[in-house]
């Protein structure tokens, strides 16, 4: 009877979480496109003007003096770019982006229906991510369940997994992970899922894991931007934002991680142009996903306390703390934050030698207003809040080979393990 009740619950959940997608436009092809890393040197303004004049897509924002820009150049604009960018040092990341996407391993293989380590051998369709979470719960029915954090603009449930230890659920302080905020960052989906998989499957055999799960309750949401993620799999592999319509503009989407109601109105950390990838929205919290995710964090904080929040991103290999909205202010406990980050990146490096840099968001990467880490720390009152930029540093960028999924998950766990062992 117990098996029947579980099966019935899962079947009910499957029907309740039917995937909703848009009518598909023609799939964006990147055949012949190049991705180039261009060093700005001391002439960042000139490089940024070339990028703007040619209306080129960039993968990591505008160039700064001494920095670089990762630029996507279509075949039709390659000659013009080469002529205008002559003199800039250039490294080819993807000779043919279309080929790289095809070689990514994609999500062609059907899910075998078993939540084991083979899951991390390839990327997967969104429907199979939901099935993986359900199967993980089915394998651990007494200490886990499917949880949702509201719905997306297209009506897809923001689905995650909740699990707990010997004290039962709703008792211990919470740890919340968000993955795939930016739709094209597929590695974050897999790494978030690896954390859940590792903790649950090793709970009965690893005393350290058991101590963590007994001490905290975990809420892991591998895909908090389901509409955007689905769109990357059906239409445009490099889509970043959600799929929300913008009044008065034909451009679609808000950057969910510039829309949180925390320092949203501060200038310089997001875009007011609906066509830009870092578009902040018309009002703070006006993305359905942001509203739902913020409400969930606040509810968890009130009910059981929010010990740790991590927002997973790619790429650049960074381990970052508040704040993003300002480069001139840090939390009162910044020394402790940096000590934890320093230990975590050392733990990550000890696994495969992968080097992560660390520091506050604004001074480490760029100014980012309306972001989730600042909200979790300043508004929800999380004891600790971090954001990670996973592999790599630019050799592959967003199109990270599937062979790097498992190593990314394993080394990320080393960093998380350090945090769990050393947070006060």
Spatial distance between the Cα atoms of 83 and 85, rounded to a whole number of angstroms: 6
Q: According to the model, what pLDDT value does residue 110 have?
A: 73
pLDDT at 5: 33
pLDDT in tens, 293-346: 999 999 999 999 999 999 999 999 999 999 999 999 999 999 999 999 999 999
> CA-CA distance, 176 to 224, in Å (whole number)?
12
**Per-residue DSSP letter, 119:** G
Inter-residue long-range contacts of 66-71, CB under 8 Å, 24+ positions, other chains counted: 66/40, 66/41, 66/42, 67/39, 67/40, 68/37, 68/38, 68/39, 68/40, 69/37, 69/38, 69/40, 70/35, 70/36, 70/37, 70/38, 70/394, 70/397, 71/35, 71/36, 71/37, 71/38
Confidence (pLDDT) at 2: 34
For residue 11, pLDDT over 70 is answered with no
What pLDDT does 13 receive? 43
CA-to-CA dists, residue 351 to 268, 345, 370, 409, 414, angstroms: 37, 10, 34, 11, 8
Q: What is the pLDDT of residue 20?
A: 82
pLDDT at 25: 60
pLDDT band with cut points at 50, 70 and 90 for residue 112: confident
- pLDDT of 10 higher than 70: no
CA–CA distances in Å: residue 285 to residues 247, 293, 298: 16, 10, 14
Name the β-bridge partners of 96.
none
Residues 45-51: what's their mean pLDDT? 95
End-to-end, the C-alpha distance of the chain in Å comes to 43
- Under 8 Å between Cβ of 190 and 105: no
| Inter-residue contact 32 to 74 (CB < 8 Å) | yes
Task: Report residue 416: phi and psi, to 5°.
Answer: -65, -40
Q: What is the pLDDT of residues 233-283, one digit of tens each?
A: 999 999 999 999 999 999 999 999 999 999 999 999 999 999 999 999 999
Point out the catalytic residue in the list 185, 277, 389, 411: 389
What confidence tens digit (pLDDT) does each residue in 211-220 have?
A: 999 999 999 9
* pLDDT > 60? residue 22: yes
What number of residues does the chain have? 424
Active site residue 389: yes
Global pTM reads 0.93
Residue 48 has pLDDT above 80, yes or no: yes
Q: Which pLDDT value is given to residue 62? A: 74
Give the pLDDT band of residue 103 (cuts 50, 70, 90).
confident
Q: Evaluate whether 214 touches 167 at the Cβ level (below 8 Å).
A: yes
Q: Are 238 and 100 in contact, with CB atoms under 8 Å apart? A: no
E strand intervals along 282-366: 306-314, 318-321, 357-360
The pLDDT tens digits for 161-180 are: 999 999 999 999 999 999 99
Evaluate if residue 14 carries a pLDDT over 80: no
Looking at residue 114, its pLDDT comes to: 86
Examine the pLDDT at 17 and tell me if it is beyond 60.
Answer: no
Arithmetic mean of pLDDT over the chain: 93
**Percentage, residues of the chain above pLDDT 90:** 88
* pLDDT beyond 60 at 50: yes
């Amino acid at each position: 009877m117990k098996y029947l009740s579980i099966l019935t619950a899962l079947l009910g959940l499957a029907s309740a979480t039917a995937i909703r997608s848009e009518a598909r436009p023609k799939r964006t092809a990147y055949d012949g496109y190049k991705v180039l890393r261009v060093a700005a040197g001391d002439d960042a303004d000139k490089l940024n003007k070339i990028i703007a004049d040619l209306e080129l897509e960039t993968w990591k924002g505008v160039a700064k003096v001494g920095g670089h820009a990762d630029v996507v150049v279509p075949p039709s604009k390659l000659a013009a770019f080469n002529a205008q960018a002559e003199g800039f040092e250039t490294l080819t990341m993807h000779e043919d982006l279309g080929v790289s996407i095809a070689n990514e391993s994609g999500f062609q293989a059907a899910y075998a229906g078993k939540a084991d380590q083979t899951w991390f051998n390839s990327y997967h369709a969104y429907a199979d991510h939901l099935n993986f979470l359900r199967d993980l719960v089915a394998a651990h029915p007494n200490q886990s369940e499917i949880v949702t954090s509201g719905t997306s603009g297209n009506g897809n449930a923001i689905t995650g997994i909740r699990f707990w230890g010997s004290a039962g659920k709703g008792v211990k302080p919470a740890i919340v992970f968000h993955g795939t905020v930016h739709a094209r960052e597929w590695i974050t989906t897999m790494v978030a899922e690896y954390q859940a998989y590792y903790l649950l499957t090793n709970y009965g055999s690893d005393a350290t894991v058991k101590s963590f799960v007994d001490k905290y309750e975990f809420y892991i949401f591998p895909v908090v931007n389901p509409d955007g993620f689905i769109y990357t799999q059906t239409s445009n592999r490099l889509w970043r934002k959600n799929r929300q319509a913008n009044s008065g503009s034909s451009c679609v989407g808000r950057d969910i991680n510039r829309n949180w109601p925390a320092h949203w109105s501060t200038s310089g950390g997001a875009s007011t142009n609906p066509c830009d990838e870092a578009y902040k929205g018309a009002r703070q919290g006006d993305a359905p996903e942001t509203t739902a995710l913020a409400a969930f964090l606040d509810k968890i904080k009130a009910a059981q306390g929010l010990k740790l929040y991590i927002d997973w991103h790619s790429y650049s290999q960074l381990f970052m703390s508040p704040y993003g909205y300002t480069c001139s202010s840090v939390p009162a406990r910044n020394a402790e934050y940096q000590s934890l980050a320093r230990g975590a990146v050392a733990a990550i490096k000890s696994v495969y030698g992968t080097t992560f840099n660390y520091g506050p968001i604004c001074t480490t990467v760029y100014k980012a207003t309306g972001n989730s880490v600042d909200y979790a720390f300043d508004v929800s009152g999380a004891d600790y809040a971090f954001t990670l930029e996973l592999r790599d540093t630019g050799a592959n960028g967003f199109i990270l080979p599937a062979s790097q999924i498992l190593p990314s998950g394993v080394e990320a766990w080393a960093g998380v393990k350090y945090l769990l062992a050393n947070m006060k």
